[in-house]
Structure 1
């Protein structure tokens, strides 16, 4: 499988501020995870660039035109700008970054394709590829002078004494970026969501009330419950307490269950068919019964006496 790469770069610094490498098709969630890394402080002290951007330039891919990304931009006060269709203005910097990664980093990794075939056996896991891209971004790309600015992105960031705009906490950022919102009604036994039951003692006072459920698709073992935009509680799925179960896990289980049901129905139909007579040709219709024959009366002759 070929992985996808979503990157975020600072237009002024030419610095890579965040990225996300994944195997699934591009989605609003993967874009949000790249933004999460771009905005929040990095664990690596050498990767200092962070902050909420004033504007975000994107193309017209489905992951960039989703309602979720529109809401994220509104919540974080980011001006979302889509490039004109068939006019890739403003996307050249990203394309050049991809070109640099393709020509400088990927040829050094096992499994790199040459003329459509791997030059060496592919041995990298997704996590190893992620680390390789991160090391290249932090240790090479952000440290060397950029041809467009003449300065290294990291040096430009340090010299500018930038004061980044940041959320109050990483949890607040996750609440806006990663977690999706869905309406639900609180039942007596808790909240039913994605086929799971979520419970919390706090929900007892909200039975029958409409609430908003916020969830992380990467971990559905718990949800956050809001009532009229006010945080109420965290509700736990007792069935999956202490383990991470993703939305994809649940969807895959549903698909497997549907396939099993279809297979079971097919087997039952086949068993029933075995008990039915096999027809060798068109059905023969019985001739209608003939009406009962009526006895024919005979003429009797009598001689008359003279």
Structure 2
């Protein structure tokens, strides 16, 4: 009866589901957080329930996969964690022996039975354990508990029999004095120095172990910098901005073109002030992103960018000065300060671009439409781990007391114009960005302030010293040929003032001349009188 029941169960089981080549595959994600000791327990249980390794042609493959998986899991642990996990694995081996009851010899028989099994070692794969090993672990645990099962370090750990104190000192001097030397370089220098003493040199692996034990393996690494997490208190205190390389999409003519995502994120709330894809990483793209962000989320107190060319432009500095924004740039080669916008770009790659079918994206407008929908419909309303479970939109509303709105009397179109000065030439024109504009005869010779959009030079605005403004357009040379010139001004009707400077000079000259002649006559008469 038992045999028939077993046969019926086996037939039913085999017909309902096929053998699992790796029983661990379906439940590893539920046990990985609990540590390898729980994984081992599940693996041994599932393996015994389904089939033995010898019964399946996939057993060698399964064993190899399990071993490689455990090595990958253990690579995430440090040395102390690995020692604890190995101790727990050893405890699992001896755990059935702790509650064992029975007549004399039961313990020996159970230990022998365990030693005949194969066990999944966390790093070495499937192994067998000797009788003495299992017995030693059992009595070690009974005498010292779980800590007694931890692997003991050798007394000479970190020491080398070949590297004595004198040789160790030479290696340290070379490693510290010449950090650019690698292992073979250090050995070459030691060989040149120790050849006369006929001393054996350590192997390369022995040298590397010595360098690691004395913290000399990272001597050429850059010094560690003090990076600290930070956050502003209120919404609008600081906006971070950056550019991310986006996917290549098709244009209207069918050619594929690279896109760039420009995004501005609020530091305190992680809310996206504005983000948009463009076909070019240009200042005009940054202008458009910043303008949309100001219209939607107000005026920030700080703007934090990197040292890219578009972020170092004079126009961006002028915009910040007109709006009272403190423009900040991160130090070169130190992007850690803008970690929030970089982390958001990672979210875009994983949660937006990863779910995007680029074959269905026909143009840039459709890509931006999907991005806006994802930001407003998913990202802004989803709980954020760094915001204590709040969504960016909820945190924005909570911290929005300090937001500065764009003044109603402020024209953003004028704010985003570039400003410079020019002197109007004799023909009533001025030159800007290689183009000649007609300023008019009333401004000839005057210095004016020019407001213009560097990406749209169809017209510019001029402002003189008196505050009067006028528009100037590119010169139409053909049209000026047919325009009648303004008549010259008539001379003034009042008589011109008399010029007396030269007459006065001539009069003074005549007076001096007469005085000189009279003086000569007097001197001559005196000479004649003396002669008599």
TM-score between the two structures when normalised by the length of structure 2: 0.37
Query: C-alpha deviations, 1:47-73, integer Å up to 9, x for none?
Result: xxx121111111121222222223322
In 1, are the aligned partners of 2:361 and 2:367 still within 8 Å (CA)? no
Change (3 A) 1:171 1:144: same
User: Which is richer in helix?
Assistant: 2
Query: Is structure 2 residue 374 aligned with structure 1 residue 136?
Result: yes
Aligned to 2:262: 6
Aligned to 1:51: 298
User: Which is richer in strand?
Assistant: 1
Query: C-alpha deviations, 1:35-94, integer Å up to 9, x for none?
Result: 2111113xxxxxxxx121111111121222222223322232222222223322321111
Aligned to 1:39: 294
Distance, in Å, in 2 between the alignment partners of 1:147 and 1:233 is 54
Distance, in Å, in 2 between the alignment partners of 1:236 and 1:2 is 35
**Cα distance, 1:171 vs. partner?**
6.0
Query: Is structure 2 residue 461 aligned with structure 1 residue 224?
Result: yes
Query: C-alpha deviations, 1:109-131, integer Å up to 9, x for none?
Result: 332xxxxxxxxx36431222222
Change (3 A) 1:147 1:238: farther
Aligned to 1:162: 401
Aligned to 1:27: 282
Aligned to 1:183: 421
Aligned to 2:345: 98
Distance, in Å, in 1 between the alignment partners of 2:467 and 2:373 is 41
In 2, are the aligned partners of 1:40 and 1:170 still within 8 Å (CA)? no
Higher RCO (Cα < 8 Å, 6 or more apart): 1
Distance, in Å, in 1 between the alignment partners of 2:298 and 2:366 is 27
Change (3 A) 1:69 1:195: closer
SS at match of 1:53: coil
Query: How large is the RMSD of aligned CA atoms in angstroms?
Result: 2.7
**Cα distance, 1:14 vs. partner?**
0.7
In 2, are the aligned partners of 1:110 and 1:124 still within 8 Å (CA)? no
Distance, in Å, in 2 between the alignment partners of 1:166 and 1:224 is 27
Aligned pairs for 1:277-296 within 5 A:
none
Aligned to 1:64: 311
In 2, are the aligned partners of 1:20 and 1:33 still within 8 Å (CA)? no
Change (3 A) 1:170 1:20: farther
**Cα distance, 1:108 vs. partner?**
3.4
Distance, in Å, in 1 between the alignment partners of 2:353 and 2:422 is 46
In 2, are the aligned partners of 1:199 and 1:235 still within 8 Å (CA)? yes
Structure 1 gap ranges (5+): 42-49, 112-120, 240-306
SS at match of 2:385: coil
Aligned to 2:73: none
Query: Is structure 2 residue 126 aligned with structure 1 residue 126?
Result: no
**Cα distance, 1:11 vs. partner?**
0.5
